């Protein structure tokens, strides 16, 4: 990882966790209480729990009411942090928030010189005439790239969340009827290209249970930055996915 990309990603995640970037490089684990866990984040989401683990350093940022229970879970660990730890911690927090959603998986990023674009299928931007327009514009503050099938309908889309000035996240969905056709790779490629062209770091987060999603990212040149887990709550978004 280049120092520039590392600095951008560390600043972003440190800001979300409510810690210093230096703490993300300190070995061992620590549980912190941050006002960020009580406040609204990007697009009005609230994250009562956020975990980031990389290179032997783990930070768990939680609302004050969960600090002691979280430390008890961490005290029992005798092995390396893995997605199951994130799932266990989420299980502590989620019942307190009806409708909460969670993710435990991996945060990936892509460097300009490692990016391998996919041009196997044409892609374009979501149009106001597309049925998904209103829903997508309510969930993403960046462009939404789509791959259309023979009927002109959207088979797969990748939306951009501009979570920081220099870190933009990609979310992708492929309609079930059009999976295994390489469409996800096409739209993620288009979104990553757009982000890189604007000087930001493309961030791609996928659950550990969806290795197909991970393979899509790696095929385009993405590599793992960290293990990430969170519990997400939103009054306006029924998906709750931050």
Domain ranges of the chain: 3-108, 112-221
pTM above 0.85, yes or no: yes
Between CA 18 and CA 141 the distance in angstroms is 23
Look at 137 and 68; give whichever has higher pLDDT.
Answer: 68
**CATH architecture for segment(s) 112-221:** 3-Layer(aba) Sandwich (3.40)
- pLDDT, the chain, mean: 92
Q: If you average pLDDT over residues 163-184, what whole number do you get?
A: 94
> What token pair was written down for 152?
């002109």
Between CA 229 and CA 213 the distance in angstroms is 16
Between CA 17 and CA 52 the distance in angstroms is 8
Please determine, for residue 236, whether its predicted confidence score (pLDDT) is greater than 80: no
């Amino acid at each position: 990882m280049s120092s520039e990309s590392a600095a951008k990603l560390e600043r972003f995640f440190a800001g979300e966790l409510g810690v210093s970037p230096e703490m993300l490089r300190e070995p061992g684990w620590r549980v912190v209480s941050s006002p960020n866990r009580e406040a609204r984040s990007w697009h009005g989401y609230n994250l009562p729990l956020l975990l980031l683990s990389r290179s032997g350093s783990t930070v768990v940022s939680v609302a004050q009411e969960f600090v002691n229970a979280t430390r008890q879970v961490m005290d029992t660990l005798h092995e390396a942090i893995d997605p199951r730890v994130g799932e266990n911690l989420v299980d502590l927090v989620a019942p307190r928030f009806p409708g909460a959603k969670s993710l435990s998986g991996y945060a990936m990023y892509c460097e300009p010189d490692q990016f391998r674009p996919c041009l196997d299928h044409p892609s374009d931007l979501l149009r106001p005439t597309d049925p998904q327009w209103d829903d997508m514009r309510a969930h993403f503050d960046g462009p939404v790239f789509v791959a259309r099938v023979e009927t002109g309908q959207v088979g797969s889309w990748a939306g951009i969340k501009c979570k920081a000035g220099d870190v933009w996240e990609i979310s992708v969905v492929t309609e079930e009827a059009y999976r295994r056709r390489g469409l996800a790779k096409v739209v993620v490629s288009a979104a990553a290209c757009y982000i890189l062209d604007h000087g930001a770091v493309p961030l791609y987060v996928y659950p550990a249970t969806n290795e197909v999603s991970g393979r899509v990212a790696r095929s385009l040149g993405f590599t793992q930055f960290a293990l990430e887990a969170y519990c997400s709550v939103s009054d306006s978004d029924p998906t709750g996915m931050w």
